[in-house]
Structure formats: structure tokens, C-alpha cells
Chain A
Amino acid sequence: MRRAAVIGVGVTKFGKHDRTSAELFAEAARDALADAELPPSAVQALYYGNVVGGETEKQLHTGPQAASVLGIPTVPTTRFEAACASSHAAFRHAVMEVAAGLSDVVLVGGAERVLNVSTAEATEYFAYASDAVWEQSVGLTFPGVFALIARAHMTKHGTTEEQMAHVAVKNHRHGALNPKAQFQKEITLEEVLASAYVADPLKLYDCCPFTDGGAAVVLVSEEIARRRRRAIWVLGSAAASDSMLMHDKRDLARVPATERAAAAAYRQAGLGPENVDVVELHDCFTIAEIVATEGLGLFEPGSGGIAAEKGWTSLGGKVPVNTSGGLKAKGHPIGATGAAQIVEVVTQLRGEAGPRQVEGARIGLTHTLGGNTATVLVSLFGRD
């Protein structure tokens, strides 16, 4: 198997846009190609993530559509739908294509547009990632899934709403340092705790926003990467799945797919959680960050809430988590999120993250979770 590396990254401003998801992706891809110092003609394949385009834009076949808008219509293109993990699933397959020697330059990314529909409509479309017969039918929502996890975690480990609020405060503090973030303002613990319940025990400020945006990365073979000074190597990339139904999950306070994907990625890289300097993980809800820090092995099971409260995951802490602001403050355009996390980690490992730079970061990890925790991807990155 050949090694692969990321040599170009691009991401749009996250927030509300009056452009289609294909246009948003094309902007991010243009920036990623410029960053990689490669022309569009160098791209040999496009792996693309998009989730609810069929609903919000009445658009299927979004892969070739995005490629056409970018101006590379004849490039083989595959669209991935793995709920919120779509573009990270796309990335893993791109790594396999490069590693197998089939292509030397693969463009990976994703985009989503949802702020053109109402909150009730977007809530319904996001719930499509839960089971239609068993879960959508009784009105379970995406925040509802994580509320069930939060309640279980609180019951089993004594995690508190205040500890969860610390995650939101920290990610907004980080997001305030990221010009591409949807929310570039700090919030207080009191504001989080006083916000209205969306799905008890989760409040509005425990939840990531609805977001429009696009992200892209250029993945290349070792031969090309060796000629680039700022290449960031892919050290591991793994996927894991778990039961689709909430009622089939044996322990609601855990996300076993995170544990399995992390174990596989660490094994590929020959690394462990103690080696990781910077992490972008899937904080679609504050509790999701707490459970992910445990599942990735950064903290003991049940201690993720304490880690948040003590500031261990903050910039300057033991292991900075979500320096971009995370899904919570940077925003969560679901089809783009996995690629956007890679953009942040690559930026950190290059030492180009400005005021949010983790000094001396050499190893980075990205973790992306799909919908009801049935899909998780974990990738590890390193610089020379």
C-alpha cells in the first residue's frame, strides 16, 4: 500500500449562504487546489459528501453536479451519504484509492445547504438518519438521540448539565478565533444553562446550529507529496458501524463505533491516544464531545465531563479539542463536516492556525460520527 498525504485544503465561511451546495463546494475546492498548487486538470477522482440535498435542494446526483460546477465534469465522481460523517467516509475511500495506486491526485470534500428551509423541515430531514419505522414514527429527533445518550451518561457517570455547558463555552471561545466559523463570539456558562430546552437535558446552546458550507482537501500519493514542503501525511483512516436502532444499543452511555474506529486507526498508525496533540471531533451536541473524548481514549470512560469542566480539552489544556470551534461554533454543514475537520487539523499540523495554533502539534486526529452513532470514522495525521 502507498502512503497518502494532504497537500491542499479549502473551506468556505460557514453560516447562511444564498448559493447552492455545489457552488459552496466549488469555492472550497478552488481554494484547496490553489493551496496544493495544482490545476483542476490534475484531479483524477472526486469523492464527495452531501446528505439532504434531495430534500433541501430537490437535488440528487450531487456528486457529478458538484464536479460540473467546479469545471471537472469528466472526472470519475462518487457521492457518499453516511449522515453527518459523509465526507469523512469519502476521505477514507479516497485514501484507499491513492494507497492502492489507482490515482495520484484525488479531490475529497462535501457541502450542504439547509438554511433555505425552516427549522421544523430541517429537523425532519436530519431525523431521516434515524430509523423510519421505529424512531421517526414516534417523533425522535437528532437532538433527541443525543439527549437519550446524555441522560444515560448522567445516570451512569454523574455527568452534569454544567459539565456539558463547559463544552459549549470552550468551543465558542475557540470559534471566536476562527474567521470561517459561523459563531465568532464567546458565550458564558450562565447563557448556556439559561437557554431553552430543545430535547431535555439538551438545551439550545448544547446543540450545533444548522449551517450552509463546503469544504475540500487534495489528497495525493507519496511521490507527489515528497515534493511539497507542507504535506501532511495520512497515518491511519478507519471506519466502524454499530446498530442502527437506539433500542439495540446495549449501553446508551457509550459509542462503541468510536471505540472500534479509533482502535483501528491507532493500529494503522502505530500510535495511541497519548501521542495525539490536537483533535477535531464530532461535537454535534456537547454530550457528543464528552462521549467522544472517552471513546477515543483521551480520557477514562465516565470522565469526559470532568475533563471538560477542568479545561483539559481547551487550547492550552492537556489535549486541545476542536480548536476550530467544532461543530458547535464553527457550524455543521453535515455533508462538509468531515472534510472541514481535516482542513483544521492539517492547518494545525502545518503550524498555520494563527491565534488558535497548538504549539508544536505533530500528530492530529479527526473523528466524525454519523447520525444515530451507527457510523464513525477516525483518521490520524502527522507532519514530517
Chain B
Amino acid sequence: MTEPLITLKNFFERARDGALTGVRCGKCGALAIPPKEFCESCHQRAWEPVALSGQGTIASYTIIRVAPARHAAEAPYAVAVVKLKEGVSLLGRIVDMPLDKLQVGLPVKFRPLVSKDQTTVGFGPA
């Protein structure tokens, strides 16, 4: 039986339960974070969902001190691009880690950030 298409909605429903889902191209093996209709490497459409470990290291980060209006109360906060163990990257909010200890290469682990109506991507200590 074929897996259902990974939409943003079910990606975040799974993420809410702590499970990160990627898609792997059945033709060229490229790994991506959904949704993607075609593989950007080989332009085929042969995705297979894969479970991602959520473990990775910080590839780059910033500490946002001047925040958009709707996040103003949360500043300062850190946002990082995390390179996951499987090779694909994911942007998220860094939580439960001292801002002055952040550095490129630091190991982190996926953590869903759940508010009443929304799940967003977070990373906490490995």
C-alpha cells in the first residue's frame, strides 16, 4: 500500500508527536523536507517517506534581538539551520540552551514546539 502524500498538514501532525518525516527520491536517492512535488535533483516524482532521527548539528545560527511584532515578547531568541544526521537540513527555534553557548557544530535534537493551534520546528539539547 502506498504511503499518503506528505503534506504540510500531516508533516506537522507527525511533528507534534515528535516524529520528523522526510521524503527520499526513489530514483536518485535525494533526501528532502516535504512538501515537494518533483525531486529538484532528477525531476522525477518517486518519493518515499522516511523517518528522520531528529539528531543533528548547528550549521548556522543567529540570535534575533529585534523581532517581528508577533514574536516581540519572545526576544531574544535563537534560530538555527540544523544539518540532520541523515544529511538534510531544517530551520528551527533553539530552546533550553544558553544563547551565549551556541556555536556552529553543536549537537542538537528536534523538539516540536506546540502552542494551542500550531506546531513549529524547535531544537533542544542533544
Contacts and interface: CB of A to CB of B under 8 A. Distances in A.
A281 B8 CA distance: 36
A223 B91 CA distance: 52
Contact of A135 (B33, B62, B91, B104): B91
Contact of B69 (A124, A149, A197, A245): A124
B58 to A, nearest CB: 9
A275 interface: no
B65 A134 contact: no
Contact of B92 (A136, A138, A143, A152): A138
Majority secondary structure of chain A interface residues (helix, strand, loop or mixed): helix
A67 interface: no
Given A133-B8, A199-B62, A247-B90, A120 B104 contact: no
A139 interface: yes
Interface string B61-77: 11111111111101101
B110 to A, nearest CB: 13
A141 B72 CA distance: 11
B72 to A, nearest CB: 5
Contacts of A152: 59-60, 104
Contact of A196 (B65, B67, B74): B65
A245 B120 CA distance: 15
Contacts of B52: none
Given A151-B61, A151-B104, A152-B59, A136 B66 contact: no
Contact-size category for A? 35 or more
Contact-size category for B? 35 or more
Nearest to B75: A139
A335 to B, nearest CB: 20
Contact of A139 (B61, B74, B90): B74
B62 A139 contact: no
Given A134-B91, A144-B79, A155-B104, A127 B121 contact: no
A137 interface: yes
B93 interface: yes
Interface in A232-272: 243, 245-248, 252
A38 to B, nearest CB: 43
Interface string B20-38: 0000000000001100000
B55 interface: no
A371 to B, nearest CB: 14
A136 B64 contact: no
A374 to B, nearest CB: 13
Interface in B97-122: 104, 113, 118, 120-122
A140 B67 CA distance: 8
B6 interface: no
9 contacts: A124-B69, A137-B121, A140-B79, A144-B64, A148-B80, A197-B63, A197-B65, A200-B63, A247-B91
- Nearest 7 CB-CB pairs, A to B? A147-B62, A124-B68, A139-B71, A120-B69, A200-B63, A247-B89, A138-B93
Interface of A: 118-121, 123-124, 127, 133-141, 143-144, 147-149, 151-152, 155, 196-202, 243, 245-248, 252
Given A123-B69, A155-B60, A247-B81, 19 more contacts: A123-B67, A134-B121, A138-B91, A138-B92, A139-B68, A139-B79, A141-B67, A141-B68, A143-B66, A147-B62, A148-B61, A149-B60, A151-B62, A151-B104, A155-B104, A199-B65, A200-B62, A247-B90, A252-B60
